[in-house]
Structure 1
Amino acid sequence: MPNSILKTGDSKQSIALAGSLILFICLFSSGCQQEAPRQPFSLGEKYYDDSTGLYLPEDLQATLWAESPQFFNPTNMDVDAKGRIWVTEALNYRLFRNDPEKFKNHAAGDRVMILEDADGDGVAESSKVFVQDEDLTAPLGISVIGNKVIVSSGPSVIIYTDENGDDKPDNKEVFLTGFGGLDHDHGLHAVVAGPDGKYYFNAGNAGPHIVTDKSGWTLRSGSLYNGGSPHMKDNEPGMVSDDGKMWVGGIALRINPDGTGMKVLGHNFRNSYELALDSYGNMWQNDNDDDGNKGVRVSWLMEGGNMGYFNTDGSRKWQADRRPGQATVTAHWHQEDPGVIPLGDSTGAGSPTGVTFYESDLLGEKYRGTLMAGEAGRNVILVYKPEPKGAGFELNRHNLITSLQEEEVESAKSRATDADKTKWFRPSDVLVGTDGAIYVADWYDGMVGGHRMIDSTGYGRIYRITPKGKNLPKPEIDLSTKSGQIAALLNPAVNVRNAGFALLAAQGSEALEEVKAILKDENPYHQARAIWLMSQMGTAGISEVEKQLDADNPDLRLTAFRALRQVKSDILPHARELSADPSPKVRREVAVALRDMPLEAVEETLIQLASHHDGADRYYVEALGLAMDGKEEDIYPALERELGSDPLDWKPGYADLLWRLHPRQSIAGLKARAMANQLSAAQRQKAVTALGFINDQEAVSAMQEIAASEITDVKDQALWWLRYRRNNDWNGFEMEIPELEANLSPEIQQEMLAHKSVLEDKNASMEQKITAANAMAKDRTGGYMLLALAEREALWPELMDAIGPSIFDNPEQAIQVLAGDYFEYASHDAVLSPDRISNLEGDPQKGKLVYQGKCATCHRIGEEGRNIGPDLGMIGAKLDQQGLLDAIINPSAGVAFGYEMWLITLKDGTVAAGFLQADGPIVVLEGMQNEVYNIPAEDIASRKRFNTSIMPDPGQLDMNEEDLAHLTAYLTGLSGEGG
């Protein structure tokens, strides 16, 4: 493929002509053909398997491969070269919330188990302990890579080495440590060996993650998240890692097997449970939303990509950034913000778990190239066959394996009862065995995540999925021979491949011919593995990889480029060569590779890449944004010269690129477009949005001019940006609009402050203090002031006794509940029994009335109720009746993440309470009446985060067992769209 890069001074017409010529050559040569259309992926009809209680496609069958007591509470699995399944247990899951007297647990620490089906009859007959360790507390990940067993158990990645093959660890090494999320769902997850021989893994947003690799490089990642566990540390937004970048929220990482070279590959997730890599090097993951927002996702991860949960520095939640008219899922993942990667497939409500990528034909030819994702909240294994779409992928969802009928999975309706525990199927992981079978771990519980369990026995299961009527024998892999090493490399099990990869790579050119022969394999994933391996087999191997830059298959061209990036010091000649490739995903990969290179070395290539953008490919423009990260201002003159024009005549690709880059030099052009009546409303509004992301006084002034204009479709939009940005990125700039009030209503608080002064007056009598305290206890603002005083232990015992009877009648429900942390109150006589309730016949219509009278003050279903607590519209998809009863009767046992109550006291004594939405120069709280408090951080005297749920228990709401039977009948039968 000829070099098409032109000097910066060449005309844009010449660049366009050269690009067209390259495209013509590629399309009509054998070097770079386009991908052939693929047949639509379909699972066909499903059938119900009585023996397992599962629904499967007609071409598959399921068997119960293993169950407790062979192991308990499985969180993650891997398979070794012998075909044995290794399982991490979590019996000690959240014992700070789950009573160790009631729930089965291990005082000596959680365990790693080895299970084996030695006779090949499809059932594991043996189980043994590999290790039990006090440092293992609900570990969420395991990988068996050679003789190393890598366990992810926050705060550490621990490697146990079995030197002599006796299935006992001979050495224990803390490989990495410093991750947040000890004993937490949002902590550290499994390691997987990539096709390049390096280790990949991720961690959720329960930071901070402050981790130093063995070469001294330090990751520092934090965000606005502190909930769910007494082990949580202060999670600080805005930290900078040793690469000079700010990584926030959940993160994906790569590291060399020796512990050096740690690199962040993506960030700003909520809680991606696991990474899966295909043999091309594509990264796949899922991610959980804030409960109740129906925004769970399955995604392809672009290297270096921001997946959009928090704002860019992690100081604001999505609610604080939500724009007028934005749909919840769009706002939840900041999908309309420049710099955020598309979310992929939004699956609705749920609790995503393990993922894997299937590359074999052993399950059936149609399953080759499928992504499988566990969804414990919806009782299903999802499957996708990713289809190329521009520079990214389209993900069309199918239900592969489930305990529910198809319509129940989609609508959240369930026939589960206490006797019929259909919804207790909680797939925690999905794994490809060495035999090509699919293994599914079942946590088996009425609850899923959120720090809670119902099953006190720790029961768990593993299912084996195979083609119907076909035996999949376990292969014998002899790693002492070259043919055995090749067999390992081509095995369906991802970490088993690494054993062959490492041994063949160590032989260098001596094994090159055998590896090169794999390029003739009809399976392109096998070919890709050979490309990665040859890149590490010396000069001759690298030369063979370079030839693959002209491969017919764009996935192999892309793989070759990725492999060469890791072994060549100068990748620029190849980047220039591929910058006009007809495949947008190949060009995207070139763009991503240029991110940290100096502008003078890559400017021409970047201009070439940008010239291909048509404005319709969000993945591609985000790749261009990553390529130009930190270079936006410096490259703008060249972009304007080669691709720009009069602002009102910008082509869609150029306008889209400037929206993504929003350099300061574009302010005048963006303002002109925003105020141009001849442009469409969408074009004008996009220009306003771009201005909203430029942190410069000139952008603020331009926004004020737009807000003062008479162009109705952008005037109000500009005014919103001004008011919104004043509370964060534009806080220090001058604005000529009315100040946004803090909503603290000081005139209302003055009366309570006067009463508070009596409490603090040493000369006031106890009678005067009690009178003042009781007046405060009956007032919303005064009640919060009393909670703040009680937190500081600033109230005399006589006052505490006197306040108790009054504060539990406070008009603010949250105060009534939180007061229980400090004040004595009469307990409710009635003891509610879940067993008795489950035996009552609930009436959904009566349950709806209970919801409307008792729950709608905080919880929304459809268009009814309020957005104070989690949306309940799809709670029936996640919990059965027993799970719902546990959550209702014991509300503080598992506070929903993000719904922790904060109490802020200002230096002048005034108070504000609510959910923390942003933490920066302006602290933003959302109060119980959906009011917003905008509080200058410099005015704050103290903060208190409550671990108690603000949801009252049923007794406080005067709910009896019949009410709960009706309510749970209503909630478990919801369609997910409303009442």
Structure 2
Amino acid sequence: MKKIIILCLSITFGFISDQNLSVEAYNKLSEAEKRDPSHAIDGLDLLDPELEITLFASEPMMSNPTNMDIDDKGRIWICEAYNYRNALNPRNPYNKKGDRILILEDTDHDGKADKSTVFYQGEDINAALGIAVLGNKVYVSCSPNVLVFTDENQDDVPDSKEVMFTGIGGIQHDHGMHAFVFGPDGKLYFNYGNEGKGLLTRNKEPLKDELGNIIKGDGKPYREGMVYRSELDGSNVEILAWNFRNNYELTLDSYGTMWQSDNDDDGNRSTRINYVMPHGNYGYKDEMTGADWRVRRTNLEDSVYQQHWHLNDPGVVPNLLQTYAGSPTGIVLYEGNLLPQMYRNQIIHCDAGPNIVRAYPAQKSGAGYKAEILPIVDGSKKDKWFRPSDVTVAPDGSIYISDWYDPGVGGHAMGDSLRGRVFRIAPKNHRPTVPNFIYSDPSEAIVALQNPNQAVRFKAFMALKSLGKAAENNLKELAKNQNPRMAARAYWLLAQIDNKYITEASNSKNEDVRIQAIRMASELIKNPHAFYLKMSNDASIQVKREIAVEIRHKKYSDVWLKLAEAYDGGDRWYLEALGIGADLDWDNCLKLLKENNESNWLKTDKTKDLVWRSRGLKTKVLLAEIIKNSPESQKGKYYRAFDFQDNTDKNDILLGLIKNAKSTEEKVTIFKHFDQATIHGNPTFNKELPLLMAGIKSELDFLEIVDKYSIKSQYSRLHKLAMTNSNSNISTSAATICVKNHGTLGLETELKNKTNAKKAIDVYGEVDKANVTAILIKTFTNKKLSHSLREQAIEEMIGWESEETLWKLTQAGKIPNEFLPIVENILKQTWHSDIRVAASKYFVNGEEEQKINTTNVLSQSGNLSSGKQLFETYCTTCHVANNKGTDFGPGLSQIGKKLSKEGLLNAIINPSEGISFGYEGQNITLFDGSMYQGILTSKTENDFMIKYPGQSKVNIVKRKDVKQILAMEESIMPKFPLKEQELADLVGYLETLK
């Protein structure tokens, strides 16, 4: 579908505006010329002939804008991040005065900033990620705090500063607190990424939801990135959605519908756009356990992006749109009239990774939505330093784009600290204008309320709200507006004057206004049961969806039943809304559903889907009944649903299914779902387990069961898998489990067999355990053995413990001379940063390594054939590109699309400056004294999920075995000993990965 959409767009907009240079002409510019603001527009392609893009501001007036807002005077407010990540990257410059909030102004209205004012500067706003200017208050998001500046006399100097929220994770982190936006209901909406963790009040007290649960990302019940709503003073905080990875910014339309983007685990082409259904779980981590999406599970999705967001799991809201590779940033819902029709009432969004600003025209689809991709500004063909960080609407309806302007993006790296731009997009020859409103005049405030700019709307809303009944007639007139979005803005205020306007809105011919009526009733009617019951007769499935999510925890099971009867068994959006509505009331809802569907109970898609989604006390019994009567191809879906139920009686119910299981594969599935903590003493389990093992055909299933239950009777098959399976992940997993359960028996046995000795060293050498390392040392130091076997053994001394041991042997002079070149190569690339530095000096007699002249490297085009070979030698041990390599670090299939040439080079020679979030190294110490280094992909109540260097496999380590986990200060990626020409070759090849 995406290819079709892009093809259509290329027919309509497939030319480059004549306002800037062609690709060929631009590429002839020198690097210095490309970076100069005079060529800022030349580096961009504006893809709509009706529009023009102009440079509003650039360095030296400003630099490194992370976020912006536009006030009602048309002035641009910028959060700068000159001091971004300096604590982790000391090579970055630092201003001891701290970062700045700037006000950029176009005093002569020629479309270019000619005045810059520093509103505030301080170290407490270093690398702030969000700013919202609402009246005389400026909300600045800078983890661990949300600061509110008040400018009482409007002289652009803050008169006070206070903390509204604190305790937020992600200090100077892209996944921390993001910008606040003003909702049409008069409340604040905001979000943070999955480093945010939780919120504390200004008094450092934890915030709780309406059930008394502390709001934090510990899985009780919330996880990862979250969306919130509060009053303007930060009171009455509500959590609206959760389980995102890095939902950078939020936007709302006039009806109160929420939208945002979300970033994937870097390199997995799973970036997404979401319609934010209230109270929805968005599936980044396993809802119940918190496990990483890579952990194998029943009913696993077919594609990476579906797996990434757990889209087959009950309780996960679908995605609106996949945008594949990217680093999404600012977003806005454009409700102005200045831009062409195709952009009106649509999402406009920045994606800094692929250097692009897009619109996403959305249409309703059942109870949800579908969307297309419409590019607006593209820098990928020319200026790959274009990193759009935010998009905002001015009072005249034009849009402004802030540009971080840097060779790289994401991973906390910054290649340039001095540059930054702001662009303006408007119809050709449209001169900027700023309307001037007298907000105290109801008629002028009504006009201002219809403005597309947030700051203007805020002042109008607050003025009309304070006028109350005096503004009622003016608002009633606006409610008749032919544009339903303007009518919606009036109704939000009218409903606060009198609840009768909720009823009036509920009778609107426009379904979005009726949806808004549901939202208003939830906020303003003390007991909306009768209203919801009446509205459940509405013909619109979207209205029904909204009722479903708003009855959550109200236990209106009769309303829920009416809504459930409208479910046809095919609309996942609606199913999830019904699931949200029945939360904590499933037993009553299922009882009514059964009574109403007695003749078709558990026979239709509708009733089976609702049971699959349910979390009632009887759900497990109902799931078992469905499984008994389902074809083999559908059973996995219902077995997976067992993972979302409590463990009471689960083992007994699953054991009851064994006698009806029609295949070994189904029995394996049952064994995967037992509660491991309580099953071992069950006689039926102990009888069935050995029978099961004999019939398992799938290697992955076999390994999973053996590992889960620590089965000691399967040595022969484990060893055979290790030695003969062509899939390296399977053979390594088998060897690891074999060593875990049987020590070095397999390796020692094969070393006595000359035919298999090298193969055994190759396979078991992957297991970085002390007992294996001891045998490798014994082998390569034994001069009686063949040179090739000894060489094989020393080449396998790769791993956290092995490399540490190898370094000690080297210092002690116990490495045979003929193997020193191999040892040198291993230690110069070791994961131990301290050993890497020491070894580099040791092997060059204390002399420092040759320093790299980056200018020389960047000036060379590079040999692609040589670069590919270098890539396969150094990079594929930890990265996947085009389906080849090891899935340990971020995927690199499209790295040439994300990073500029400068960014690629910096990532290689300074890996600690660009660590992608989620790929930070950890030093792991077990109670048995073992030490490892790896990536902590996720953690559950009982386990840590860890990937060790050079391995795709996610290893499960019991929490009870872990003594300590400490974050590494440097990247887990080593600095490779490459010369300038080799670097040029490698960078040249990486540029082709698109």
Contact persistence 2:827–2:835 (CA under 8 A)? no
Query: Does 2:410 match 1:449?
Result: yes
Partner of 2:281: 306
Post-superposition shift, 1:204?
1.0
Among candidates 8, 11, 16, match of residue 47 of structure 1: 16
Q: After superposition, where does 1:148-297 map in structure 2 within 5 Å?
A: 148-212=137-201, 218-219=207-208, 246-297=221-272
CA distance in 1, matches of 2:221, 2:357: 34
Alpha-carbon distance change, 349 to 724 in structure 1, aligned in 2, over 3 angstroms: farther
Post-superposition shift, 1:799?
10
Query: Does 2:401 match 1:440?
Result: yes
Alpha-carbon distance change, 80 to 672 in structure 1, aligned in 2, over 3 angstroms: same
What SS class does the counterpart of residue 16 from structure 2 fall into? strand
Among candidates 982, 986, 992, match of residue 963 of structure 1: 982
Post-superposition shift, 1:710?
5.7
Contact persistence 1:188–1:204 (CA under 8 A)? yes
What SS class does the counterpart of residue 831 from structure 2 fall into? helix
- Structure 1 residues 939-948 or 72-81, which shifts more? 939-948
CA distance in 1, matches of 2:681, 2:66: 48
What SS class does the counterpart of residue 496 from structure 2 fall into? coil
- Structure 1 residues 940-949 or 876-885, which shifts more? 940-949
Partner of 1:561: 518
Post-superposition shift, 1:277?
0.8
Alpha-carbon distance change, 559 to 788 in structure 1, aligned in 2, over 3 angstroms: farther
Query: Does 2:912 match 1:892?
Result: yes
Contact persistence 1:71–1:89 (CA under 8 A)? yes
> Could you tell me which amino acid in structure 2 is paired with residue 441 of structure 1?
S
Query: Does 2:72 match 1:115?
Result: no
What SS class does the counterpart of residue 356 from structure 1 fall into? strand
CA distance in 1, matches of 2:469, 2:922: 63
> Could you tell me which amino acid in structure 2 is paired with residue 97 of structure 1?
L
CA distance in 2, matches of 1:610, 1:42: 43
Q: Give deviations 1:933-969, integer Å, cap 9, x for gaps.
A: 33332233333443432322120xxx33222222222
CA distance in 2, matches of 1:303, 1:534: 23
Among candidates 531, 539, 555, match of residue 491 of structure 2: 531
Query: Does 2:686 match 1:665?
Result: no
CA distance in 1, matches of 2:397, 2:57: 17
Post-superposition shift, 1:654?
1.4
Partner of 1:883: 903
Post-superposition shift, 1:336?
0.8
Contact persistence 2:197–2:217 (CA under 8 A)? no
What SS class does the counterpart of residue 265 from structure 1 fall into? strand
Q: After superposition, where does 1:617-766 map in structure 2 within 5 Å?
A: 617-643=571-597, 645=599, 650-676=603-629, 679-696=630-647, 698-704=649-655, 706=657, 711-712=662-663, 715-716=664-665, 719-720=668-669, 722-723=671-672, 735-736=685-686, 737=689, 739-740=706-707, 743=736, 745-746=739-740, 748=743
CA distance in 1, matches of 2:678, 2:77: 49
> Could you tell me which amino acid in structure 1 is paired with residue 16 of structure 2?
Y
> Could you tell me which amino acid in structure 2 is paired with residue 632 of structure 1?
W
Q: After superposition, where does 1:323-472 map in structure 2 within 5 Å?
A: 324=300, 326-404=302-380, 414=381, 416=382, 422-457=383-418, 459-472=419-432
Partner of 1:514: 474
Partner of 1:476: 436
Of structures 1 and 2, the one scoring higher in RCO (CA 8 A, sep 6+) is 1
Alpha-carbon distance change, 132 to 721 in structure 1, aligned in 2, over 3 angstroms: farther
Post-superposition shift, 1:177?
1.1
> Could you tell me which amino acid in structure 1 is paired with residue 506 of structure 2?
L
> Could you tell me which amino acid in structure 1 is paired with residue 528 of structure 2?
I
Query: Does 2:504 match 1:547?
Result: yes
CA distance in 2, matches of 1:400, 1:729: 57
Alpha-carbon distance change, 243 to 543 in structure 1, aligned in 2, over 3 angstroms: farther
CA distance in 1, matches of 2:600, 2:443: 64
What SS class does the counterpart of residue 294 from structure 2 fall into? helix
What SS class does the counterpart of residue 885 from structure 2 fall into? coil
Partner of 1:231: none
Among candidates 957, 960, 974, match of residue 993 of structure 2: 974
Partner of 1:72: 63
Contact persistence 1:783–1:815 (CA under 8 A)? no
CA distance in 2, matches of 1:372, 1:482: 31
Contact persistence 1:548–1:557 (CA under 8 A)? yes
Alpha-carbon distance change, 81 to 716 in structure 1, aligned in 2, over 3 angstroms: same
Contact persistence 1:688–1:717 (CA under 8 A)? no
Partner of 2:965: 943
Partner of 1:847: 867
> Could you tell me which amino acid in structure 2 is paired with residue 526 of structure 1?
M
> Could you tell me which amino acid in structure 2 is paired with residue 333 of structure 1?
W
Contact persistence 2:98–2:123 (CA under 8 A)? yes
Post-superposition shift, 1:697?
5.3
- Structure 1 residues 658-667 or 497-506, which shifts more? 658-667
> Could you tell me which amino acid in structure 1 is paired with residue 310 of structure 2?
H
Contact persistence 2:642–2:673 (CA under 8 A)? no
Partner of 1:592: 549
**Alignment RMSD, CA only?**
3.5
| Structure 1 residue ranges without an equivalent (≥5) | 1-39, 222-237, 405-413, 417-421, 758-773
Among candidates 113, 134, 159, match of residue 145 of structure 1: 134
> Could you tell me which amino acid in structure 2 is paired with residue 309 of structure 1?
Y
| Structure 2 residue ranges without an equivalent (≥5) | 1-7, 21-38, 690-704, 711-735, 749-768, 775-789, 842-847
CA distance in 1, matches of 2:799, 2:833: 9
CA distance in 2, matches of 1:569, 1:784: 61
Contact persistence 1:111–1:130 (CA under 8 A)? yes
> Could you tell me which amino acid in structure 1 is paired with residue 672 of structure 2?
R
Partner of 1:30: none
CA distance in 1, matches of 2:831, 2:70: 48
Partner of 2:692: none
Partner of 2:567: 613
> Could you tell me which amino acid in structure 2 is paired with residue 862 of structure 1?
N
Post-superposition shift, 1:268?
0.8
Alpha-carbon distance change, 586 to 789 in structure 1, aligned in 2, over 3 angstroms: farther
Aligned pairs, how many?
Answer: 867
Among candidates 840, 846, 853, match of residue 826 of structure 1: 840
Among candidates 943, 951, 954, match of residue 922 of structure 1: 943
Alpha-carbon distance change, 628 to 808 in structure 1, aligned in 2, over 3 angstroms: farther
Query: Does 2:457 match 1:490?
Result: no
Q: Give deviations 1:233-264, integer Å, cap 9, x for gaps.
A: xxxxx966699962211111111112210010
Alpha-carbon distance change, 366 to 326 in structure 1, aligned in 2, over 3 angstroms: closer
Post-superposition shift, 1:789?
11
Post-superposition shift, 1:662?
4.5
Query: Does 2:54 match 1:63?
Result: yes
CA distance in 1, matches of 2:107, 2:678: 62
Post-superposition shift, 1:43?
9.8
Post-superposition shift, 1:852?
2.0
Post-superposition shift, 1:778?
6.3
CA distance in 2, matches of 1:168, 1:731: 68
TM-score, normalised relative to structure 1: 0.82
Contact persistence 2:384–2:407 (CA under 8 A)? yes
Partner of 2:465: 505
What SS class does the counterpart of residue 75 from structure 1 fall into? strand
Among candidates 113, 131, 135, match of residue 120 of structure 2: 131
Contact persistence 1:779–1:811 (CA under 8 A)? no
Post-superposition shift, 1:161?
0.8
Q: Give deviations 1:617-637, integer Å, cap 9, x for gaps.
A: 111111111111122234322
Partner of 1:765: none
Among candidates 975, 980, 991, match of residue 953 of structure 1: 975
CA distance in 1, matches of 2:286, 2:814: 42
Partner of 1:315: 290
Contact persistence 1:78–1:143 (CA under 8 A)? yes
Contact persistence 1:518–1:530 (CA under 8 A)? yes
> Could you tell me which amino acid in structure 2 is paired with residue 925 of structure 1?
I
Among candidates 561, 572, 578, match of residue 535 of structure 2: 578
